[in-house]
Structure 1
């Protein structure tokens, strides 16, 4: 195989990754709204993408459960009902509470130091957004991802970081833009991280469950007031 062919394949893969990152961020931030119908031509024009990388990105987003393929009609951004979203947060409350407890027991000292440093970077980001948003990229930049991985519980992390993770990210960002919520969420994250650094699993579990419970109550209030559309 020639070097030129390998380079072309590498460039195509990079463009597909860029297209995927672009569209996933648009979904998470609500630029592509839940339930919105999307087509290839529109997406190419809207996000300055080319068809090949776009199609690969659409397939990956479908596999993550963020897009639904409609026969002969393109794709639709996934959407859920208010009741389903509340139930997702109830599931998170139980599962992430356990993850926080086990993270306190199993994370290495170096991982905990990195977790605390991550929150320092998050604080800088929230300040740059003037306290109006708390957007966390997926993976290692995400506080909740770090906790799930730090639990060293393979089955638990698989459940938390599968389709549930990507679905919840769609709503976490939208909810983080509530007045005062970014700084409050950051303070709650710091309290959880402090409990983990003290190796206090019971406290870490309690604080994580309270953190997610507060988010769920916020969702319920917003749905009731009509200020959150799903």
Structure 2
């Protein structure tokens, strides 16, 4: 994978898109677990793509920080330490809380209704097909995207949230129950609808902080394995 691969428009480009979507779905769902080495012949056979499109798909996933590549060793699904994950939850706790406040201050009534709909939907609907995995935007992602602060949106981008999905597939306890998440999301959306920035910020802070403390407790007790 050392050489630069530039695919022409047409079938090879479509095959690269298809391989990217399929492998992304396998990573996020845990079919390809963290740390596993990618078997290119097997992936090529299973997804019906040639070497060039497959390697282009792998490069895209590497750009999303979902895959690491070591010369003469190959590509692996990324594996993070407990400290890596804990630090990213600290970032979420700070930035998503501010994003919630900004949404309460800036969103239009129409945008608030869309955010309410996302809150009622739940954290990450089951049964999404591969292209939908790529395009689905969770309540948290929509809130960040709409907050009006480009610096927050650049830090908490699509790659950031895909890493969260990857960790959750490997550590199911690293999330609230669907009903718990939905309840929290609805309360945050309601605070935003009432233009109550203080409450929106506090509710989001507490929502993420609970998971951060669960993770920190597991790390402290030695009960976390990456």
Q: Which secondary structure does the structure 2 equivalent of 1:68 belong to?
A: strand
Residue of structure 2 in register with 1:3 after alignment = none
String of CA shifts for 1:146-195, please: whole Å, max 9, x gaps.
11111110111111116533322322455556797121111111111111
Q: Would the aligned equivalents of 1:62 and 1:69 in 2 still touch at CA under 8 Å?
A: yes
Q: State how 1:1-230 maps to structure 2 within 5 Å.
A: 9-122=9-122, 125=125, 137=133, 141-161=137-157, 163-175=159-171, 181-223=177-219, 224=221, 226=223, 229-230=225-226
Structure 2 vs 1, CA of residues 180 and 141 (structure 1 numbering), >3 Å: closer, same or farther?
A: closer
Q: Would the aligned equivalents of 1:176 and 1:182 in 2 still touch at CA under 8 Å?
A: no
CA-CA distance at 1:27 after TM superposition: 1.4
Give me the CA root mean square deviation: 2.8
What is the TM-score of this pair, normalised by structure 2? 0.82
Structure 2 vs 1, CA of residues 202 and 172 (structure 1 numbering), >3 Å: closer, same or farther?
A: farther
Residue of structure 1 in register with 2:4 after alignment = none
Structure 2 vs 1, CA of residues 107 and 174 (structure 1 numbering), >3 Å: closer, same or farther?
A: farther
CA-CA distance at 1:124 after TM superposition: 10
Tell me the distance in 1 between the aligned counterparts of 2:157 and 2:96: 11
**Higher helix proportion (structure 1 or 2):** 1
CA-CA distance at 1:78 after TM superposition: 1.0
- List runs of 5+ in structure 1 lacking aligned partners: 1-7, 130-135
Q: Would the aligned equivalents of 1:138 and 1:145 in 2 still touch at CA under 8 Å?
A: no
Aligned length: 215
Q: Bigger shift: 8-17 or 105-114?
A: 8-17
String of CA shifts for 1:49-107, please: whole Å, max 9, x gaps.
44232111101011111111110222011111112211110111001111111111112
- List runs of 5+ in structure 2 lacking aligned partners: 1-7
Q: Would the aligned equivalents of 2:175 and 2:211 in 1 still touch at CA under 8 Å?
A: no
Q: Bigger shift: 25-34 or 67-76?
A: 25-34
Tell me the distance in 2 between the aligned counterparts of 1:164 and 1:209: 18
Structure 2 vs 1, CA of residues 138 and 199 (structure 1 numbering), >3 Å: closer, same or farther?
A: farther
Q: Would the aligned equivalents of 2:191 and 2:199 in 1 still touch at CA under 8 Å?
A: yes
Q: Bigger shift: 198-207 or 216-225?
A: 216-225
